Chain A
């Protein structure tokens, strides 16, 4: 375990030095983060900007803001930790550099998942955390609510990672998979709104088919004390099940790896 932590530290050091080589990139990344949060805020501004609108689908302005905050935080998590690593799987399979990952005496899934960081998008994380905290400060939250929300949000991050990994792992068979990650981003966009604000069929789809509800809505509900116990229990279970399934899927993919020609 300490060995893996040490590896993460070394990987982080190497990837940070590589990114410092390209400074101009940083400003572009900050602008992208600001644009992202602007669009998310505009979404709820349109809804709550109507005169006399105090709540949408049972969500007050600050509750909805909380969801936006968690959405940005998750976006940040994806951009900083998940995307820079997992999008490289397809490229590594196509060029054959996956060979080197598989030749190393460390778990290959760990290797492909932790090798890189995109520190340029750390602002997403900061904005997301800021929005979440400031929205929560306008709401009556209990310490128990915060703890539950934190645990459920952790499950949410596990789910996000698993879905990304499963989609990226298809590269072992299909080789080019950019469109698959586009698919994720497209569906994930729905997470910036509280899922319970959607019509019932959409809500069911976003809970049971693609577990978007668990990512932002469920932790937000836990924080505001409006979460049903069933969903609270379901979230970590879904996360654990997804983790197990993607692990199997990954192992299967590695077994059928054909390696690009020499």
Chain B
């Protein structure tokens, strides 16, 4: 028994990253001009981000493209040196990239692959076993478990280049988690996968989190990934954290308040319903409208009293709508 309890916490204080990027006008002349006289510009990708994660916590990391999600994950995994601020992951300073730190973390990037292209995934696993010094007993136990949860049987001995995208992603996940890391940085782990495959990747992540108490930070374009796995949400926009809290709170944060759905017995005009709330939609005997959060019960009571209502439901707006509001309509569908 080791006395040291594994510390899978993440602490981030005022983390910053600047890049110098080169700018080039389109076309050959632009290229020529840029070759002779490069114009560069300083870009602040991450501008002072702070948060703390408890061991075993699963958080969804959301934000529009280019908001700084990936840059943050890369700083936390030690790939990029921060321009300022502090990060501590599992008790280590990531930028030092100590071997003991790297053994405790993993970074999965849905758009990049580490598996050897010309060989079966099993060969890549063996390379990782040697690199991470995983004992044969642990290796076989982990492989048995992953094979079962991810359904890897039958694809491990096929050349990686002959696998489908979904099969490859499963193998990528297995390769990245073979050493049983305690902190998982998952950057778009389900990108491009069909719904079934997304579901099995989610199930695997949930299972791993429960089994090993690992801390997970997850970015995704698919809202379903985040709502299925994470209770806490971090929202980053233009390099700054704009929200940190429960998924439920985020849903309630939109200025539009709650959405009331009505099933009516008699049709009512849009103009008439506009007296009770905004953003009214009427479709035959179905209608919906948005009411301010604080007045939900009062307005609902008035609707029930004034109109011939068969059914009334109140719900939070879909998370996509909230995100779209938070980001002023940019990237509305792809948060």
Contacts and interface: CB of A to CB of B under 8 A. Distances in A.
B102 A104 contact: yes
Nearest to A111: B131
B99 A105 contact: yes
A148 to B, nearest CB: 37
A262 interface: yes
Contacts of A104: 102, 131-132
A259 B80 contact: yes
Contacts of B107: 99, 103
A97 B112 contact: yes
A18 B112 contact: no
For chain B, which range describes its interface: under 10, 10 to 19, 20 to 34, or 35 or more residues?
Answer: 35 or more
Given A6-B130, A95-B112, A103-B77, 7 more contacts: A14-B124, A17-B119, A17-B123, A102-B97, A103-B102, A105-B99, A105-B103
Interface residues of A, number: 27
A80 to B, nearest CB: 18
B83 to A, nearest CB: 11
A262 B109 contact: yes
Nearest to B73: A262
A93 to B, nearest CB: 12
Contacts of B114: 97, 100
A11 B119 CA distance: 12
Interface in A86-117: 95-97, 99-100, 102-106
A59 B131 CA distance: 49
Given A21-B118, A104-B131, A262 B106 contact: no
Contact of A106 (B78, B119, B131): B131
Interface of B: 19, 70, 74, 77-81, 97, 99-103, 105-107, 109-114, 116, 118-119, 123-124, 126-127, 130-133, 159, 187-188
A7 interface: yes
B119 to A, nearest CB: 5
Contacts of B105: 103
Nearest to A261: B70
A104 B116 CA distance: 15
A99 B79 contact: yes
B132 A262 contact: no
B99 A106 contact: yes
A95 B132 CA distance: 24
A144 B19 CA distance: 56
B190 to A, nearest CB: 14
15 contacts: A10-B127, A14-B123, A18-B118, A18-B119, A96-B112, A99-B112, A100-B114, A102-B78, A103-B102, A103-B106, A104-B131, A105-B99, A259-B74, A259-B80, A262-B112
Contacts of B79: 99, 102-103, 257, 259
A257 B127 CA distance: 24
A259 B77 CA distance: 12
A258 interface: yes
Nearest to B81: A255
A195 to B, nearest CB: 36
A105 B131 CA distance: 7
B103 A99 contact: no
A3 interface: yes
Given A103-B79, A103-B102, A257-B80, A10 B119 contact: no
Nearest to B107: A103
A7 B130 CA distance: 6
A95 to B, nearest CB: 8
Contacts of B78: 102-103
A160 to B, nearest CB: 27
Contacts of A10: 126-127, 130
Contact of A7 (B112, B131, B188): B131
Contacts of A14: 116, 119, 123-124, 126-127
Contacts of B113: 97
B58 to A, nearest CB: 20
Contacts of A3: 133
A63 to B, nearest CB: 44
Nearest to B20: A258
A146 B82 CA distance: 52
Contacts of A100: 112, 114
Contacts of B132: 104-105
Contacts of B159: 21
A7, A95, A99, A257 — which one has the most chain B CB atoms within 10 A of its CB? A99
B82 to A, nearest CB: 11
Contacts of B130: 6-7, 10
Nearest to B103: A105
Contacts of A97: 112-114
Contacts of B119: 14, 17-18, 21
Contact of A105 (B74, B77, B100): B100
